[in-house]
Amino acid sequence: MKLFDKKNIDFGMILTQHGLSKTSFRKILIELFYTKKYSLSVDEIITNLSFPIDKVSVYRALNAFEKNGLIHKVPDMANLIRYALCQSECSFEKHLHNHAHLLCSNCNETYCINDFKIPVVNECKGFIIDNLKIILEGSCVDCQQSYK
């Protein structure tokens, strides 16, 4: 898993590159995604912020981020809406990510496996495929540690 050095990242620039206006809340929100290692639900975002904010504002910012190729929805054990950062292949024009996800059945964390690419399947037995998900379930490294 990649951890980022916050000092070297211009979060305003990331927003601009994705066609988003630089509001102070959006900057804080994108920084949160870079600071947290994995994925975030709306409730986790609100818990991590040092100021009160209503859910509607958070959803609105997340929808803009998703629409412009910054983040994507990831599968979640509890069927919560949960997001993770996209890699550089996605832009404000199009999402091009096609990776699998790991789900920890102990802590409910979702991890992107960016080097596990899903094959392109457009049609199968007459079905037109418009969404393909591969989910691997198990125990994450942190949870394996806590069993010992």
The Cα–Cα gap between 82 and 78 comes to: 10
State both tokens at 15. Answer: 């927003």
Shortest gap between Cβ of 52 and Zn ion (angstroms)?
29
Shortest gap between Cβ of 47 and Zn ion (angstroms)?
18
Which residue lies nearer to Zn ion by CB, 36 or 95? 95
Chain-centroid distance of CA 43 in Å reads 14
Which residue lies nearer to Zn ion by CB, 14 or 90? 90
All residues at 6 or more sequence positions from 78 whose CB lies less than 8 Å from its CB, including other chains: 108
> Is-contact 22 15, C-beta < 8 A?
yes
Which residue lies nearer to Zn ion by CB, 2 or 7? 2
Shortest gap between Cβ of 72 and Zn ion (angstroms)?
4
Shortest gap between Cβ of 51 and Zn ion (angstroms)?
28
Strand partners, 113: 100
Q: Which helix (H) or strand (E) element contains residue 29?
A: helix 24-35
Which residue lies nearer to Zn ion by CB, 64 or 84? 84
The Cα–Cα gap between 132 and 147 comes to: 33
The Cα–Cα gap between 99 and 52 comes to: 34
Which residue lies nearer to Zn ion by CB, 53 or 77? 77
Shortest gap between Cβ of 5 and Zn ion (angstroms)?
22
Write out the residues near Zn ion by the rule CB under 5 A: 72, 74, 84, 86, 90, 95, 97, 104, 106-107, 112, 140, 143
